[in-house]
Amino acid sequence: MNRKSTLLACLAVCAALICASESAAQSTAAPHLEKHGSATQLIVDGKPFLILGGEVHNSSSSSVEYMKPVWPRLAAMHLNTVLLPIAWETIEPSEGQFDFSNVDGLLEGARANNLKIIVLWFGAWKNTFSSYAPAWVKSNLDRFPRVQLADGRGTERLSPFSTNVRDDDARAFAKLMAHLRDADRDQHTVLMVQVENEVGVIPESRDHSAVAEAAFKSQVPPSLIKYLQAQRATLEPELRTAWESASAKTSGSWQEVFGSAPLTDDFFMAWQYATYIERVAAAGKSEYALPMYANAALIRPNYEPGQYNSGGPLPHSLDIWRAAAPSLDFFSPDIYFNEFAYWAGRYARPGNPLFVPEAQGGAAGAANALYSFGRLAAIGFSPFGIDDRDNAPLDLVGITNAAELPNNDAIRAAYTVLSELAPLILEKQASGGITAALLEGEAQRAARVQLGDYNITLARIGAASTSDNTASKRVAAIFIQTAPNEFLVAGAGEAQITFSTDKPGLPIVGIESIDEEFYVNGEWVPRRRLNGDENSQGQALKLLATDLAQGRIYRVRLYRYR
Ligand code: DGJ
């Protein structure tokens, strides 16, 4: 070998080593978020990951034993991720004495079933209350003060104004994150962490303890004013209106800056919860920097602050949360209401990827999952109470008869198809070429979306029923463009799909062919060609209510004519 070829050989070896070490570094990096095109994606072991999740009931993960038969059931439903609480009282039952045996048992259970975990830190708050704080915290009112009502009575809510509560919560959370780093640094079983759960105050719109009253009368923190000024053009409308209606002041008390309406109390509490949670999240991230988020309980129509969780990361307060809690990567809605598209849309914003940690399951959940991934580039979706449908929160899903409980067979079916489509969905979320349509209730007859050169209309079949407007009447379809004139379509519910175009040239869209396809050994295999009665002699694609359960997707090819 002459000197030149020796040099070239050395360079090739060096390049190979650099590539190998780069890809090793990528796959050993902790789960994190990355922007790909217009989507923000969760990266796990060097690759984008679509969270097909489910959240277990609040107390399930307090017992490793209880979870043993649950894990394989969830894996069989094609979940890839389980959202589960880890409580402050479980890991720090006595002050300063940490016990991670529950955490280790949960990691083991998940790994044995090839599942990932999202940890829900039930620290100082769970649904505004403090039921998961350790007994040594609960019972010491002097050291750990509570939120107070206007008449001076206490509530069982730790005060977000207390530095004692905050610092001990943050210390325990940091210990948990340090433990996860040590126990999980190679396996990446834990993907993300939710910090606290559905915070806020009820039944009044703000804390009336002496310290809270004093803060309410003090100046709005200059850092928040600075944020408002810098982000004025893109502030959420409710916040911008409140600020501008009070003359967009650059200093003053909360009521001077935002007006003396109940919403101002909500903004004030949002700042307080967010600054507190920032300290907790930052302490955790300094040990192990997994993506972290906070979740919100949403608002029923016409409810005022205090009737709902005042101070939570609700759409109208997202700017306040962003300004106060930069260690949180995003904010998430718990969507049990039937207006899924509205609520999900308010969280799928630039700088805030959509992740739905709690949602209705059953047929409604299946449709909402297709919509979230296809239309809103969601990083994940997760029906609540996935381990036991018999405990579903009936009142929240508008059901009074237990026989009508959501049946999670629909989630199993949706996740089976979504797990097959996941690589394509992730690719198209980043590069474009994906959308979805959703019909919410009988009254909504049709929805039109646009993809490539085509308008796609999803429409109900048959006449409107006046009586039935329930979530189970929800229909959705996801559309993935595989070539300029070719789409993969998967649907939840019964509907028909037609295609048209506004593009100049050939104005009429014809269906060249529709093939039903099934995923077999990692490939989409065509079976019947459906060009006759099944699809109105080629005039529309008909979705059947059984499509997801049967694992059927459609490959549609279009052409144009005059
Ligand atoms: C919302 C909470 O975040 C969950 O922990 C659980 O309590 C559900 N509500 C029950 O409906």
What's the pLDDT tens digit per position in 178-209?
999 999 999 999 999 999 999 999 999 999 99
Atom of ligand 1 nearest to the CA of 197: 3
Residue 3 has what pLDDT? 53
How far, CA to CA in Å, does 15 sit from each of 25, 47, 422? 15, 22, 32
Residue 20 has what pLDDT? 47
Residue 522 has what pLDDT? 87
> pLDDT digit string (tens) for 222-245?
999 999 999 999 999 999 999 999
Assigned token pair, 554: 């459609």
Q: How far apart (Å, rounded) are the C-alpha atoms in residues 207 and 114?
A: 44
Ligand 1: distance of its center to the CA of 90 in Å?
A: 19
Cβ count near 351 (within 10 Å) = 11
Burial of 277 (0-12, 13-18, 19+ CB in 10 A): buried
CB 261 within 8 A of CB 242: yes
Q: Using CA positions, which residue lies closest to atom 11 of ligand 1?
A: 393
> pLDDT digit string (tens) for 266-305?
999 999 999 999 999 999 999 999 999 999 999 999 999 9
> pLDDT digit string (tens) for 430-486?
999 999 999 998 899 999 999 999 999 999 997 766 555 444 589 999 999 999 999
- Judged by DSSP in three states, 304 sits in coil
Q: What is the pTM of this model?
A: 0.92
Ligand 1: distance of its center to the CA of 395 in Å?
A: 12
Percent above pLDDT 90 for the chain: 87
Residue 1 has what pLDDT? 46
Ligand 1 site residues (CB inside 6 A) read: 58, 127, 197-198, 334, 358, 384, 393, 396
For the segment 25-47, the average pLDDT, to the nearest whole number, is 91
Domain boundaries, the chain: 51-214+267-430, 434-561
Q: Which of 290, 386, 300 is nearest to 339 (CA)?
A: 300
Q: Which of 413, 407, 562, 552 is nearest to 471 (CA)?
A: 407
CA 238 to chain centroid: 23
For the segment 323-345, the average pLDDT, to the nearest whole number, is 97
Residue at token pair 């529950």: 102
- What are φ and ψ of residue 422, in 5° steps? -50, -45
Residue 5 has what pLDDT? 54
CATH 3.30.1490.100 assigned to 51-214+267-430: no
Give CATH for domain 434-561: 2.60.220.20
